[in-house]
Every structure is written in structure tokens, then in C-alpha cells.
Amino acid sequence: MPPKASTRTRKSTGSTSTRASSTTKRASMGSSASSRKRVAPEGEDTKGKRMRTSTLNVAPAPVPALHASDFEAGKAGVRSMGALFATQQALSSTTSDHVVARKLFVWGTGEAGQLSLGGPDDDNINKLTKPKPFGNKALSVQTDAGELGVGGAEMIAAGGMHTLVIDANGRILSCGSDDHGTLGREYRESDASVDEDECYYVLRPVDGISPDGKNAAPGKDGRVVQFRATRAAASDGCSVALDAEGRLMTWGHFKDAEGKVCFSDTDANGAPKEQWSPVALAALENERFAQVACGENHVLALTLDGRVYSWGLNSMSQLGRFANIYHIRARYEKRDPPASMLLTPAVIPELKNITHIACGLNASFAVDADGRVFAWGLNTRGQTGTGLKKTTVTRPTRIKALEPSHVGGAHVVQIAGGEFHTAFLLSNGQVWICGDSDEGKLGLSSTHEIFQNAQDGSPVLLRSPVQVPMPQPPSHASANAKNVDGSTSIIGIAAGMRFTFALAADGTLYSWGTTSDEAMGQPAEQWGEDQSKATPSPVPMPGEPGAWSIVSVATAGQHSLALAARAP
């Protein structure tokens, strides 16, 4: 489980080898007082450095605004989720009708402020059993259309005990545990609106970056970098973001099993062991990215030409690459980071032409242009889906059960992994799953064929994925919300430690599994009991059924987030 919130950690002094990249173009040398800006040739940036170019994937564009006509056509969720995971084509809207704002909903445990609903002493509103609209008047947080931009929030990401939101203006806002730079910002005495303890319980912009290069607190080097965020991902303590050009910035920390904290390989030389504001990584300076994904303590990044970088903790082979362990131990003999970490990003050599990446807690996944799915990392309960009985899969290995030829020509479009289970969303709207059946994690009823040989209800280890039966859509759903077999069509998935979310095309959110932190959104029969559902069940939303259409969902160990819109 993610670590509990600890005492606030103050910023370390010193410098790191990583540096933020500026978007300011360098002027050409010349005698004229009005020097012309240098025009970079194709494949070269404005500083003359060669950059990789490709048409396999595209840099992530901002998620398009929702319009009234999207609800009439039943495509509100499809547009939002499709934009988030479209690496091969950009989704845009030519509609000019009324914009419908996406509203942020939160639920679960918020003891570290990750729900942004109340101060550190307000226990009543920092534990929610079902979705609640974001907004905290006591801390002067606004929830009107102007707070997160005209279109509302664009994207959400949940870390172990922190939350990231990208608003319609392209700002990244954070709240929750600030340990070791997790939030990408610091408390400033000049901010008179909240005190030091409460500032972490309020969504605030990260330091050092903004869409216009202004109106933000400066970063470590005293600058504000122009960075229009479009995607973000969060681990327990490290966060990563991409902008519309595919540039990558990151902040926070990694932590090993012994609790040692570090951020980069230069930590071995006495540099800071955490990063308090977003920075660009020197190893990725000439790369542009389409996607990022985070596990508990590791990161994957997908380049435009289909290569995959990995870095972070590698104790379970979740990075998919090896290093000379003796060299690392010698280098770090007297200093951190530990030998189990590979903190300089490097390419996983076996992976080519990749179009999608994902992380479980300690496992990793990739899908290539031919629809082949690869997995590696921790496999103690069959969560890689490879069919192997090894406790760890050290190299990217194909999941044969998900080959397009085995699933009716469909292909995997999204993957979501928990601690001991993994869900796969197919292009035909089906969800497949593998891993440990204990506590309802697989969403399969007791009559499913995998339990036929189980003894006394003991858990089953499902090492190859099978389809999760989904219920039929509600009566208010449109005709295009159904699969061919009449079941509800799924357009997005997310996974917590022991549970899974499936977002339907009609805007209904389903969940199954178990949690003790209310993050499933399924109120228990008695207060204090675990939330638990053996099969996919609708998550209750405020108001009448169908009043809110959920268009995006994210979850972590203790809390969950959703973006929803009310049909006009």
C-alpha cells in the first residue's frame, strides 16, 4: 500500500545535474539590430541539435472541449478518453455550439489533502464513500467555470497520496502529500490566502512552469518555463508531465523498499535527493514523447518514433532492462541511490514501434503497431498475463492471449494495473483481465469457468487474460453504448491496488474488487467495513440516474478522481 503521510519535508539545498529547458528561441548572430530568429531544419531544434522525428505517434494535443452536441450524439466520454489515448491521430472539434465544462469529482481517503476538500483537521470531509463534486469554500477554492478554465479540467492523475489536475488553460495543479517534492511546489509566505498546513490541501499550480511562461512561482533556477501541459502521470512520489510539443518535465522522488529517497543518479555525489519543482532531464533533452506512465516507483515514456524509455526502481525488473549491478554497487557504495534503482532514463532495447504504454504497481506493459502486447516485471500472482509462472518477468514478453488473432481482430487500446491484477481494454469495448481472483479483483462471478476446479473458494491465479462480462447499459443509454452482444461498451479503465474501474460509453462508471479506503465509490453496508464488489457494479453519482456523464477516471492507492459533465 502507498506510504502514509509523514511530517512535512523541507527543501534540501544544493543543485542537481538536471535542468529545465527554455522555449525561448536563440537569435541568429548578425550585425542588424533586429536579428532574425533562426529557423530550424526538419529534425533539428532551434539550437542546432539533432532530434528524432517520426509519424508513428504524435505529441499529445490538449483534450478538446466538450460541446452540447457531443451529448446529443452520445460521444462525450468517447471524445475525452479517445483524445487521452490517441497517439496516432489528434482529435479535435469543429463544433462551435455551447461548451460544457468538465467538473472534478473526488472520493476515497484524503488524509494528506489529496481530495482538496478540507483542512488537515477536518476528518468528516476527508473520507468520502462515493463521488462528491470538488470544492472547498472554507479554503476559498472556487468551482465555477472560470476556476479550471472555460472547459473545466482537461485531465486528471492520481498518485499514492497526491492529485494532479490539468486545467483548460494548460496549467498543472497539485494537492496532497508534499513529502520530498511530490507536489512540485513549495509553500510561500507571500501566499496569504491559506496557511502553511492548509496550502497542501488546496489545488495550486506547480512552480516553475506555466502555459505562457508567466504568472507562476519561479522554479529552482529562478525561471518560469513556458510549458502548456497536456498529459500527466503520477507514481507514489514522482510526477511526470508532457506538453503539446512532446517535451517532458518531472519532479518529486523515488523510494526503495528500505525507504531511501532519491531522484537522479547524481544523488550519489551529494546532490539533492528530491526535486521540488519541474525539471527537464538531460538524458531526454533531444526526445519528444507521446505518452508517459507511472508505477509505484518507476516511469515509462513513449517517444514519437515508438521507443520506450524507463527509469526508477528496478527491484522487480519493472524497467525491462539490465545494468552492471557490480558497477552500480561500487559507485553507490557509500551514498544513495541504492543499487536497485536506475535513475538515468534509457531505452528498453527489445521494444520497437510501440504505440501504447502502461504500468501496474511493479509491472510494465507496451503495445506495438501490430497489436502485440508485451509485459514484464513482478508476476507473483500472474499479473503480467504472459502465462509464465516466474515470480518476475525480466524482459518484455508477449501476451499471446491478447494477440489480435485471438480476440476477434480487436487490439488493446489501454492497460491498467493494480498490485496483483491487470485489466486490458480492447478496441471492441471489451475488458479482459488477469491476476489474483482474491477479493473480487477479477470481476468474475463464482460461476465462471475459472473457478470450476477451485477448492473451498480459494483464490485462483489467472495467468492469461479472460474477458470480464459487463452488464447491459442502463435504459437512458444511447444505442451506440452497446457492444455486439448487448453488453455495455467500455471506453476507459483504471486500477487501484485491489480494484478496477471501467468507464462505459454512456457515462456510467463501474467498479469491482475491494478497498479499505473508500476509493471504489461503493458504500459499504456498515461504516468502517471494506468496500467490496465481486462483479462490475455502477458507482453512484449525485442526482438522478444519468444526470452526470463521467468522461474520465483516475485512481491510486487511497483515493479516486473523475471528470464528469452534466448534459445540457
Q: Where are the domains of the chain?
A: 66-454+470-566
Q: Report the 3 state secondary structure along 164-205.
A: EEEECCCCEEEEECCHHHCCCCCCCCCCCCCCCCHHHHCCEE
Q: What is the pLDDT of residue 2?
A: 40
CB atoms within 10 A of CB 466: 16
- What is the Cα Rg of the chain in Å? 23
Three-state SS at 406: helix
User: What global pTM score does this model have?
Assistant: 0.86
Question: In sequence order, what are the residues at sequence separation of 6 or more whose Cβ sits closer than 8 angstroms to the Cβ of residue 219?
Answer: 20, 207, 208, 209, 225, 277, 278, 279
* Residue that is written with C-alpha cell 517535451 in the block: 247
Identify the sign of the CA torsion 6, 12, 17, 22: positive
Tally of CA atoms within 13 A in the half-sphere of 152 that contains its CB = 23
**471 pLDDT exceeds 70?**
yes
Across 195-209, 276-290, 347-361, 483-497, least confident range: 195-209
Closest C-alpha to 550, from 18, 66, 46: 66
pLDDT in tens, 385-427: 999 999 999 999 999 999 999 999 999 999 999 999 999 999 9
Q: How far apart are the first and last CA of the chain?
A: 40
Q: What is the pLDDT of residue 14?
A: 34
Q: What is the pLDDT of residue 313?
A: 93
Question: What is the band of 485 on the pLDDT scale with cuts at 50, 70, 90?
Answer: confident
66-454+470-566 has which CATH code?
A: 2.130.10.30
Q: What is the pLDDT of residue 370?
A: 97
* Residue that is written with C-alpha cell 517517444 in the block: 303
CA distance 518 to 393: 32
Give the mean pLDDT of 58-72: 85
Question: What is the band of 79 on the pLDDT scale with cuts at 50, 70, 90?
Answer: low
Which CA distances in Å does 35 have to 40, 311, 506, 507? 15, 41, 55, 53
| C-alpha cell read off for 266 | 547524481
Instruction: Name the helix (H) or strand (E) containing 328.
Output: helix 325-331
Strands 103-109, 559-566: pairing kind: antiparallel
CB atoms within 10 A of CB 236: 25
**138 pLDDT exceeds 50?**
no
pLDDT in tens, 515-551: 999 999 998 877 678 999 999 999 999 888 888 999 9
Burial bucket for residue 251 (CB in 10 Å: 0-12, 13-18, 19+): buried
Strand partners, 488: 482
Question: What is the band of 303 on the pLDDT scale with cuts at 50, 70, 90?
Answer: very high
Q: Who wins on pLDDT, 281 or 264?
A: 281
Range 443-459 burial, b when 16+ CB lie within 10 A, else e: bbeeebeebeeeeeeeb
Q: What is the pLDDT of residue 137?
A: 45
Average pLDDT score, the chain: 82
CA distance 183 to 289: 22
Query: Could you write out the DSSP letters of every residue in 44-101?
Result: B-TTS-B----SSS---PPPPPEEHHHHHTT-HHHHHHHHHT-SSS-------S-EEP
Question: What is the band of 100 on the pLDDT scale with cuts at 50, 70, 90?
Answer: confident
Across 313-327, 329-343, 454-468, least confident range: 329-343
**481 pLDDT exceeds 90?**
no
CA distance 67 to 100: 5
CA distance 21 to 6: 32
Q: Who wins on pLDDT, 344 or 337?
A: 344
Strands 490-495, 153-158: pairing kind: unpaired
**55 pLDDT exceeds 90?**
no
CA distance 47 to 119: 47
